[in-house]
């Protein structure tokens, strides 16, 4: 009996393309008392795997939280499979605003302690005692009320690219962080203000509304179905969208456009941009906002250090990241020291990546004048051979060109950062003044290079 995904993401993507069927991306949640979540999880997998359902689903004693995709022609069979459970009859399914056949490439159903991690340990907290649900038109009307406080229950990286106007947007990484912060900041308004909340699909607001009622807030409201359902109703009823920008989603798309407004900036140069990406360095994967120009210049990486890593042989990359658990760091979602513009918005400076800190015990005299200088450089190639006794290094030219008289930088984890003027060189074993991509370039060095070293040309 197959209870787990057996295909790789690449294999699944090919199968989706070959099938040629339109897929729907949707999400839903339901709070319920599940005595045996593992048994429930297995039943879902057996029912959904034949329907070609793919997605990320969490089940717990308190219910289910699902984001998934499926072929459009399997929709009603899927709906039947969930409505066999009483607590999911007539459940609202949030259909995505924008569809992507590759939004999910695996079926993953996990048993968790909770379907929304809240960090709460309170037996008296009743998660079913929720606030008042509002449809889009009602939500817009309450927004106009001067006694209304609207709060974004999502994380900072979500609200950064899109939000409701005048919303309070807590600068938090996780849902559990937001609950005590909001309670403290609004503690004086438990009776005299309308607490109006929203999130992506409604699940976080469902729990948050119950929590704030538990803490004594009297007028608690939540956007029914979250931003996804709000957008559908706005379009269907011809309403004005009070949500501007993009809605962050937790699949390969990382966002779906709601309005044409761009409310965020590239974390590397400051250009208006609302496109999230993950650093392509497999050992990093930091999530941040990156414009097309920076994506090209930085090769999809968050820092120059990661650019260097992706040019290493695959085995060296694996060795670097072996044993490193980046989970918490990755999900800081754009809060990284390497994102200079993101962290220095007041100066509006152009992005300059932090160089990796290496220590060289003793530098040759000819190199000291360049020590510790922050330089602008372009990538040229990588070390492919060294001659220890003769102090000669050989490089493969992969990009751009290099010529006699250029100031160069050789950089590596052991070598450190070494700069020099290129006075002579051999190109493809013949003395030459210029080397272009595809050439091998050999020249004298006052130190020994490693095969992982990278060659750059310094731009004055």
Q: Where are the alpha helices (DSSP H) in 160-281?
A: 175-185, 203-214, 226-237
Nearest to 234 by CA among 166, 140, 167, 95: 140
Q: Helix/strand/coil (H, E, C) string of 276-325?
A: EEECCCCCCCCEEECCHHHHHHCCCCCCHHHHHHHCCCHHHHHHHHCCCC
- At residue 176, φ and ψ (nearest 5 deg) are -65, -30
C-alpha 428/C-alpha 227 separation (Å) is 60
Q: Where are the alpha helices (DSSP H) in 53-202?
A: 75-83, 136-144, 156-159, 175-185
Note if 199 is an active site residue.
Answer: yes
CB atoms closer than 10 angstroms to residue 342: 21
Nearest to 54 by CA among 17, 18, 25: 25
Q: Among residues 199, 269, 291, 441, which one is catalytic?
A: 199
Nearest to 448 by CA among 401, 390, 402, 395: 390
C-alpha 104/C-alpha 52 separation (Å) is 11
Ramachandran region, residue 382 (left: φ > 0; alpha: ψ -120 to 50; beta: rest): beta
Instruction: Give, in order, the Cα–Cα distances in Å from 24 to each of 78, 93, 255, 258.
Output: 12, 11, 15, 18
* Alpha carbon 421 to its chain's center: 41
C-alpha 391/C-alpha 410 separation (Å) is 14
Residues ≥6 apart with Cβ < 8 Å to 427: 434, 435, 439, 440, 441, 442
Given a contact cutoff of 8 angstroms between Cβ atoms, the answer to whether 237 and 147 are in contact is no
Question: Three-class SS of residue 184?
Answer: helix
Q: Supply the residues annotated as catalytic.
A: 199
């Amino acid at each position: 009996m197959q209870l787990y995904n057996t295909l790789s993401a690449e294999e699944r993507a090919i199968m989706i393309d070959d099938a040629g069927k339109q897929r729907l991306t949707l999400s839903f949640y339901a709070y319920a008392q599940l005595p045996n979540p593992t048994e429930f999880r297995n039943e879902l997998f057996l029912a959904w795997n034949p329907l070609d359902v793919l997605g990320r689903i969490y089940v717990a004693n308190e219910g289910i939280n699902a984001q998934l995709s499926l072929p459009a022609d399997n929709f009603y069979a899927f709906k039947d499979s969930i409505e066999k459970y009483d607590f999911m009859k007539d459940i609202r399914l949030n259909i995505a605003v924008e569809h992507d056949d590759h939004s999910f490439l695996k079926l993953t159903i996990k048993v968790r302690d909770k379907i929304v991690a809240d960090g709460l340990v309170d037996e008296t907290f009743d998660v079913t005692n929720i606030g008042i649900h509002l449809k889009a038109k009602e939500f817009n009307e309450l927004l106009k009320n001067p006694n209304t406080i609207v709060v974004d229950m999502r994380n900072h990286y979500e609200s950064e690219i899109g939000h409701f106007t005048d919303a309070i947007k807590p600068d938090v990484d996780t849902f559990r962080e937001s609950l005590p912060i909001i309670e403290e900041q609004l503690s004086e308004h438990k009776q005299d203000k309308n607490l109006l909340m929203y999130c992506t699909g409604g699940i976080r607001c469902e729990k948050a509304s119950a929590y704030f009622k538990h803490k004594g807030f009297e007028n608690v409201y939540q956007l029914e179905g979250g931003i996804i359902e709000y957008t559908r109703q706005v379009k269907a009823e011809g309403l004005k969208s009070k949500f501007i920008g993009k809605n962050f989603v937790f699949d390969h798309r990382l966002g779906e456009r709601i309005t044409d407004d761009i409310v965020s900036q590239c974390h590397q140069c400051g250009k208006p941009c609302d496109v999230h990406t993950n650093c392509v360095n497999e050992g990093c994967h930091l999530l941040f906002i990156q414009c097309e120009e920076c994506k090209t210049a930085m090769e999809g990486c968050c820092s120059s250090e990661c650019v260097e890593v992706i040019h290493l042989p695959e085995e060296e990359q694996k060795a670097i990241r072996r044993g490193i658990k980046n989970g918490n760091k990755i999900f800081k979602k754009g809060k990284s020291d390497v994102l200079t513009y993101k962290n220095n918005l007041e100066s509006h400076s152009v992005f300059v990546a932090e160089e990796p800190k290496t220590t060289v015990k003793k530098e040759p005299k000819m190199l000291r004048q360049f020590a510790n200088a922050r330089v602008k450089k372009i990538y040229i190639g990588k070390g492919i051979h060294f001659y220890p006794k003769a102090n000669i290094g050989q490089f493969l030219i992969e990009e751009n060109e290099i010529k006699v008289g250029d100031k160069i930088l050789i950089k590596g984890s052991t070598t450190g950062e070494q700069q020099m003027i290129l006075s002579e060189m051999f190109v493809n074993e013949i003395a030459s003044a210029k080397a272009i991509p595809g050439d091998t370039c050999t020249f004298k060095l006052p130190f020994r290079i490693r095969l992982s070293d990278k060659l750059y040309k310094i731009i004055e």
